[in-house]
Amino acid sequence: MANTFGYGGMTNHLGDMQFSKFILVIGANPAVNHPVSMVHILRAKESGAKIVCVDPHFSKTAAKADEYVRIRSGTDVAFVYGMINYIVEQKLYDEKYLKERVYGYEEIFKEAKKYPLNVTSDITGIPAETIKSVATQMAKAKPASLIWNQGLTQHTVGTSNTRIMPILQLILGNIGKNGGGVNILRGHDNVQGASDMGNLSDTLPGYYGLGEGPWKHFCKHWYVDYEWMKGRFKSKEMMEKTGYALSTWRFGVLDEENFGNNANTPLKALVVIGNGISTTSLLDKTKAALDKLDLVVFIDPYVNDVAVITERKDNLFLLPAASQMETSGSVAATNRAYQWRYQVMKPMFECREDHEILFDLAERLGFKEEFQRSLYEIAKKEGRKEFIWPDDATTEMAQSIRSIALQGMSAKRLKEHCDNWHMFDKVTLGGYGPMKNQYYGLPWPCWSDKHPGTPVMYNDSIPVMQGGMGFRVNWGEKAPDGTSMLSSRKLPNAKIGGHLAITADNIESVLGIKLSAKEKEAVKGTTFATGTTNILVEKALEAGICPYGNGKARMVVWNWYDKIPLHREPLHSIRQDLVSKYPTFPDKKDLFRANVRFESEQKKDWKKDYPLNMLTGRLVAHMGTGTETRSAKYLAEIAHTMFVEIHPNTAFNLGIKDKDDVWVYGVGGTRILVKAKLSYRVDENSVFLPQNFSGVYSGESLLDRYPDGTKPYAIGEAASLVVGYGYDYNTACPETKSGLCRVEKA
């Protein structure tokens, strides 16, 4: 099952923001969601950077910004096109950068002309002068950084949002620059690692696809036969098919029309390991699916909230997992850097570490030997009979995940960084003394055990062995229109300029070298991202080039439905007058195995019955669902009551006073009972709900359902019960950041 929240990663890193002159924060609230990141942002401000926060909700980040810009939720693409149009009109873009490093910018300029300041203002609700001012400030600041998070991803146009932001930075020449880049903040200590390791149902680890080639690559590293692996699936087609997502699995249980996307079989069992699935939209559908499944298992240090919400009476298991303090291994930070975490204490009581649980499960399913084989093979190479956990698992990970270049991340190097963390500069990440010529955490790509890691991606002004790189050539040598996708620039000390990704077939012609017969045999049929040796990569590094090529970033994705980002109104839009001009996508079949509604959902005039924009977000006192933090006495005391923020004028018109009990109704006919909190942090057309509560379901307390000794100190309604239907067209990420609701006094 895929977790499709917040796809991406930082091009730069947190300390690097101190080189910024301007920081645009849009679709993110780091003061609440990423407090450590916010420290770095404030240090950048102290160093002279101007902070502009764009958000429909006046957040804690907005309170610390130099300027706050209120935007209508779901209109980010239109806002950026308005900025681009003005930037182009004023010739504030980096023309040289675009000609040398970017493909398709002419199409973006053409689309941007549809968004003059007055049109953009009407769509977004932002005054024309403000759009002009933000565009001018950002364009003239050299460099400028851009930060986003789930406020951009959790929309039907989430993918377009996360495309238009790098496009803006490319137009300004800010990608590949210290103090620039696009910096997507991860919410927990290993979200990036979970993504890197393939906890998405459309990729294998390292973002390899699901085709035969990637499967054979991993089978080789796992020391298992490809035909055996294929036999684990009903068919080769299902082996290579995108699975369910965290947002779509419910439909594989409840809706017969979706069974055909799953080999004509409904889902029958669910195992949840450390995931707060109660924050996903349509909580009523989650509950119905949990009630219907044959088997449900939760593996977590705390009682998972939906285990309390479901009404099933049997085949529901809660297994205690060890916490992060009771485990060890590598975790990946938001900047692509890996850090070693030592075990602080042994697991308490019946709690077990994740790998032990999975080893036992594999044994009961009949493939423990195959599951562990690579670990024993690594041990055997070092003269040991038993593998060492997690060190050997880290070795297997590093050797197999070559697509993003983890092969330089040995457990030994990561431990050295952890033990000598004080020997690294906090702004540049560069090491001193014994850590010299390395960047802390070896941020990927880290091409070899001699490579320092890459603190700033796409920086082609420094040599590859100092972390330099161009843009990856992943789309072929030429675009469909015949334009070369190779860059005209070259890295310092590089033998050549623009070039394709290195493969066994092209290495001799690209680098002008000759491989020995032994080397040719060792790399036969492989690329820089496949195989079991690092010969191709090492030869590329010797020639001063980046193994994955040196090409142009593409703004036009010719194989997608929206070849360039387009503004499309939310499914449940408060601006019904704009729906016909900016309609959503057509309905889509088999999106992460679910048939998903788009235009058929948008056809109804939802605003008539649900007149308020509904915004959701986190509270700084609580993490995720609040499962852990609402069980912490002092944190529960800080944020103890679920509420809805509503503008005083709107509340007055509805006959609602501060702290009144109110019902919030979602477009799906669901409702939650919460306290009204009168606030100017929202505009008169919007309300805001925190997403961190559970333990109350549509007005009914579920506190008595918690096992003895596990009741949290604070309970409340889950906002996800009233978050409406809607999913990103490409990733199936739920549209939690733009919807409609109705509020009534209870």
Residue 46: both structure tokens together = 């102290």
Cα 665 to Cα 440: distance, rounded to the nearest angstrom: 48
Cα 722 to Cα 689: distance, rounded to the nearest angstrom: 10
Statement: residue 5 has pLDDT above 70 = no
Residue 597 half-sphere exposure toward CB, CA atoms < 13 A: 12
Output DSSP code: residue 448: S
Residue 509: both structure tokens together = 């012609």
Cα 282 to Cα 292: distance, rounded to the nearest angstrom: 16
Give the model's pLDDT for residue 8.
Answer: 54
- Strands, DSSP E only, in 560-600? 588-591, 594-596
Residue pair 413/434 in contact (Cβ under 8 Å)? The answer is: no
pLDDT tens-digit series, residues 429-449: 999 999 999 999 999 999 999
Question: Would you tell me how many other CB atoms lie within 10 Å of the CB of residue 436?
Answer: 10
Of 12-26, 183-197, 231-245, 343-357, least confident by mean pLDDT is: 183-197
Nearest to 201 by CA among 247, 150, 161, 264: 247
Statement: residue 365 has pLDDT above 90 = yes
CATH topology of domain 602-745: Barwin-like endoglucanases (2.40.40)
Cα 480 to Cα 494: distance, rounded to the nearest angstrom: 28
Give the model's pLDDT for residue 351.
Answer: 95
Report the C-alpha dihedral over residues 413, 418, 420, 426, rounded to 10 degrees: 110
Mean pLDDT of all residues in 390-406: 96
Mean pLDDT of all residues in 34-62: 95
Give the model's pLDDT for residue 187.
Answer: 74
Q: Which residues pair with 148 in a beta bridge?
A: 184
pLDDT tens-digit series, residues 93-120: 999 999 999 999 999 999 999 999 999 9
Cα 217 to Cα 207: distance, rounded to the nearest angstrom: 13
pLDDT tens-digit series, residues 506-543: 999 999 999 999 999 999 999 999 999 999 999 999 99
Q: Which residues pair with 644 in a beta bridge?
A: 676
pLDDT tens-digit series, residues 473-490: 988 899 999 999 999 999
Per-chain mean pLDDT for the chain: 95
Give the model's pLDDT for residue 2.
Answer: 30
Q: Which residues pair with 67 in a beta bridge?
A: 52
Cα 490 to Cα 462: distance, rounded to the nearest angstrom: 10
What is the phi/psi pair of residue 158, to 5°? -55, -40
Nearest to 561 by CA among 599, 505, 518: 599
Cα 86 to Cα 106: distance, rounded to the nearest angstrom: 15
Q: Which residues contact 647 (CB under 8 A, 6 or more apart)?
A: 678, 679, 680, 682, 683, 684, 686
Residue 655: both structure tokens together = 């006959």
Residue 732 half-sphere exposure toward CB, CA atoms < 13 A: 27
Mean pLDDT of all residues in 181-190: 86
Cα 517 to Cα 532: distance, rounded to the nearest angstrom: 17
Mean pLDDT of all residues in 279-298: 96
Cα 690 to Cα 349: distance, rounded to the nearest angstrom: 34
Each residue of 82-115: b (16+ CB within 10 Å) or e? bbbbbbbeeebbbeebbebbbbbbeebbebbeeb
Q: Which residues pair with 144 in a beta bridge?
A: 22
Residue 537: both structure tokens together = 């990569």
Nearest to 59 by CA among 25, 21, 15: 25
Give the model's pLDDT for residue 147.
Answer: 94
Give the model's pLDDT for residue 623.
Answer: 86
Put the strands of the sheet holding 716-717 in their side by side order.
700-701, 695-697, 716-717
Mean pLDDT of all residues in 413-424: 96
Give the model's pLDDT for residue 427.
Answer: 95
Q: What is the 3-state secondary structure (H, E, C) of 298-358?
A: EEECCCCHHHHHCCCCCCEEEEEECCHHHCCEEEECCCCCEEEECCCCCCCCCCECHHHHH
Q: Which residues pair with 424 in a beta bridge?
A: 431
Q: Which residues pair with 697 in a beta bridge?
A: 700
Q: Which residues contact 640 (CB under 8 A, 6 or more apart)?
A: 713, 714
Question: Would you tell me how many other CB atoms lie within 10 Å of the CB of residue 481?
Answer: 9
Of 6-10, 673-677, 696-700, least confident by mean pLDDT is: 6-10
Q: Give, in degrees to the nearest 5, the angle at Cα 318 between 312 and 323.
A: 150
Cα 493 to Cα 465: distance, rounded to the nearest angstrom: 10
Nearest to 451 by CA among 335, 546, 330: 546
